[in-house]
Amino acid sequence: MPDSITITDNRTGQSLEIPIRNGGVSSAEWQKILPGIWFHDPGLTTTAMTESAISYLDGDAGILRYRGYPIEQLAEESTYLEVAYLLLKGELPNEEQYKQWVSDITHHTFIHENVRKRFLEGFHYDAHPMGMLVSAIAALSTFYLDAKEIYNPAAREKQIVRLIAKMPTLAAAAHRFSVGMPFVYPDNELPFAANFLSMMWKVAEPHYSANPALVKAIDVLFILHADHEQNCSTTAMRTAGSAHADPYSSAAAAAASLYGPRHGGANEAVVRMLTEIGSMENVGDYVKSVKAGHGRLQGFGHRVYKNYDPRARIIKRVAYEVFEVTGKNPLLDIALKLEEVALNDDYFVSRRLYPNVDFYSGIIYQAMGFPVDMFPVLFAIPRMSGWLAHWSELLDQDSKIVRPRQVYSGAPERKYVPIDQR
Ligand code: CMC
């Protein structure tokens, strides 16, 4: 059997055989026979917008790999900065490369004083930290004039290092401002995740040393959130990047998309839902009301995973490690009960709705003391490396500017009527 499909235009009887390559068919072939007829694909659910060699995802089997490495192995053995290097450069670093990479990132953690003093401190006192982060990422482009040199390899590498390094500093600065605490400068003696926790929580101590179990947990959560192929924010990054916007402006577009509750805000929704449920006894009634069409089970279901999200499995394990230090978040028992009820209920089973990455991450963040407003920010910090890997890959591809078509459903041509005659 040939690995191809044949399409026939029934208006003309004309047929065309299109080869299937790497699980896809080229729309350029389709255009040969059907010019002016577009695929109507809202949400791009069946459109591969690009070829990519960064993440592999099999939603039916519940598999996620970065550059071929299973997410489980990376979460177990690697560090976030090593994973960021892998995503960006395609290979794991050797010792020397890793040392240099960590040193480069560490020496770019500071932000320009004007970003903090004049820009971030200009926000309203109760500004949402994610709104501050989105704006601050965009504002950085005005500080680095070489940001526009996207085809200069040295300048491109510089912006990549700056963006990855400055994310925790901006994130912590946004939090500190929103709770009225003074800004904490990066401590370059500390590794990436420990430095972030120091900038978040330091009060008057000369050196803040976070509990190593919590540092490890944050680092694993960063690994799990680093990339996820063509998700909504990565698509936003690629779309802005396809117009050759600088990486700060493109990343701000990506972060804005991550701000949405359907994407980076779902873990916040999970915590709100579990709080609303209140106790294990109410789980059954809550599930019944979801089945009756009153809202959705937050942290359940995924556009691509039709199986247990492999990241959720790892996060569930991390939750227990965190609770050893922080004490158990009382929402955990409700979450476990909810998962058990849903996974044994035909409504969820038949629709293949399983816990996703957000189901347990929120209760970990809450146990660690992060306010819910910070949850999407915690997602954005590591996702920056994935966004940049896709942005860089896009620039190295023979990419076109993203410019989809539409199926027009508006009024036909009509004549303008002056206002006094309407
Ligand atoms: N609770 C109850 N029913 C659900 C849920 C849910 N969480 N998710 C999907 N369904 C039902 C939906 O009502 C529909 O039923 P029916 O066929 O009877 O109309 C069916 O399952 C298919 O739903 P869909 O909306 O076509 O699925 P989708 O692929 O468009 O949506 C989703 C994916 C993630 C937006 C959705 O599952 C959802 O809203 N989940 C809750 C929010 C959430 O946890 N989001 C985080 C996603 S993971 C983080 C990330 O990668 O950014």
The model's pLDDT over 378-398, given as tens digits with 9 standing for 90+, comes to 999 999 999 999 999 999 998
Q: Range of 229's domain?
A: 78-400
| Atom 4 (ligand 1) nearest CA | 296
Residue of the nearest CA to atom 49 in ligand 1?
263
Question: How close is the Cα of 302 to the center of ligand 1, in Å?
Answer: 6
- Looking from the CA of residue 290, the nearest atom of ligand 1 is 2
The mean pLDDT value for 6-28 works out to: 90
Q: Which of 71, 231, 303 is the best mutation target for the ligand 1 pocket, counting ligand atoms within 8 Å of the beta carbon and taking the most?
A: 303
Q: What is the pLDDT of residues 184-220, one digit of tens each?
A: 999 999 999 999 999 999 999 989 999 999 999 999 9
pLDDT at 339: 93
Q: Do both 323 and 258 map to the same domain?
A: yes
Protein residues whose CB sits closer than 6 Å to any atom of ligand 1:
228, 231, 262-263, 266, 290, 296-303, 351, 353, 356-358
pLDDT at res. 29: 83
Q: What percent of the chain has pLDDT over 70?
A: 100
Sheet holding 55-58, edge to edge: 55-58, 63-66, 69-70
Instruction: Quote the ligand 1 centre to 386 CA distance (angstroms).
Output: 24
Neighbours of 417 (CB within 10 A): 8
CATH value at residue 332? 1.10.580.10
Does some domain include residue 107? yes
Q: Are residues 48 and 91 in the same domain?
A: no
The pLDDT of residue 264:
87
Query: Hey, what amino acid is at 274?
Result: L
263 a catalytic residue: yes
Which of 141, 123, 202, 135 shows the shortest CA–CA distance to 170?
135
Based on the domain organization, do 158 and 52 belong to the same domain? Answer: no
Is residue 28 over pLDDT 90?
no
Reference 355, options 273, 279, 276; nearest CA is 273
Residues 319 and 258 in one domain: yes
**Residue 32, in any domain of the structure:** yes
Has residue 405 been placed in a domain?
A: no
pLDDT digits over 251-299, tens only? 999 999 999 988 888 888 899 999 999 999 999 999 999 999 998 999 9
Amino acid identity at 156: R
CA 160, CA 216: separation in Å to the nearest integer? 24
Spatial separation of the C-alpha atoms in residues 400 and 111, rounded to whole Å: 33
User: What is the mean predicted confidence (pLDDT) over 146-165?
Assistant: 97
Instruction: State whether 27 and 88 are in the same domain.
Output: no
> Each residue of 67-85: pLDDT tens digit?
999 999 999 999 999 999 9
Q: How confident is the model at residue 333 (pLDDT cuts 50, 70, 90)?
A: very high
- CB contact at 8 A, 269 and 261: yes
Tell me, yes or no, whether 28 and 96 share the same domain: no
Residues 169 and 230 in one domain: yes
Specify whether 14 is located in the same domain as 98: no
| Residue among 219, 302, 309, 390 flagged as catalytic | 302
**pLDDT at residue 259, as a whole number:** 93
In this structure, the answer to whether residues 35 and 95 fall within a common structural domain is no
Other residues' Cβ atoms within 10 Å of the Cβ of residue 325: 14
Cβ distance 168 to 109 under 8 Å?
yes
Angle at 189 between CA 187 and CA 195, to 5 degrees: 50
In a domain, 246, yes or no: yes
Q: Does the residue 65 lie in any domain?
A: no
Taking the complete model, does pTM exceed 0.85, yes or no? yes
Task: Tell whether 413 is covered by a domain.
Answer: no
Whether residue 107 lies in the annotated active site: no
How remote is the CA of residue 97 from the centroid of ligand 1, in Å? 41
153 shares its domain with 48: no
For residue 123, report the distance from its CA to the centre of ligand 1, in Å.
34
Protein residue closest via CA to atom 34 of ligand 1: 302
Compute, in angstroms, the gap from residue 224 CA to the centroid of ligand 1: 21
134-145 residue pLDDT tens: 999 999 999 999
Total tally of structural domains belonging to the chain: 2
Which run of H or E residues covers position 66?
strand 63-66
Which of the following is catalytic: 219, 246, 309, 358? 358
Please report, for residues 100, 246, 384, 385, the alpha-carbon distance to residue 161 in angstroms, rounded to integers and kept in the order given. 11, 14, 10, 9
Tokens of 262: 């359907």
pLDDT band for 242, please (50, 70, 90 cuts): very high
Using the 8-state DSSP alphabet, how is residue 147 labeled?
G
Q: Whose CA is nearest to atom 47 of ligand 1?
A: 302
Q: Specify the ligand 1 atom closest to the Cα of 309.
A: 48
What is the number of the ligand 1 atom nearest to the C-alpha of 43?
Answer: 30
* Ligand 1 nearest-atom number relative to CA 359: 44
Q: Is residue 346 among the annotated active site residues? A: no
From atom 17 of ligand 1, which residue's Cα is the shortest distance away?
351
20, 136: one domain = no
Q: Any residues with CB less than 8 A from the CB of 409 and at least 6 apart, and which?
A: none
Beta-carbon contacts of 316 under 8 Å, excluding residues fewer than 6 positions away, are: 355, 360
Q: What is the pLDDT of residues 101-128, one digit of tens each?
A: 999 999 999 999 999 888 999 999 889 9
The reply to whether 233 and 134 lie within a common domain is yes
414 occurs within a structural domain: no
The structure tokens listed for 366 are: 């809450």
Q: Any idea which residue has 């009509």 for tokens?
A: 414
Question: Rounded to an integer, what distance in angstroms lies between the CA atom of residue 403 and that of residue 384?
Answer: 24
Ligand 1 mean position, distance from CA 303 (Å): 7
Q: Tell me, in angstroms, the distance from the centre of ligand 1 to residue 352's CA.
A: 10
Apex CA 169: angle with CA 381 and CA 218, to 5°? 45
Residues near 162 by Cβ (< 8 Å), separated by ≥ 6?
Answer: 108, 140, 144
The answer to whether residue 390 sits within a structural domain is: yes
Query: Within the chain, what is the greatest distance between any pair of CA atoms?
Result: 79
Least confident of 176-180, 261-265, 315-319: 261-265
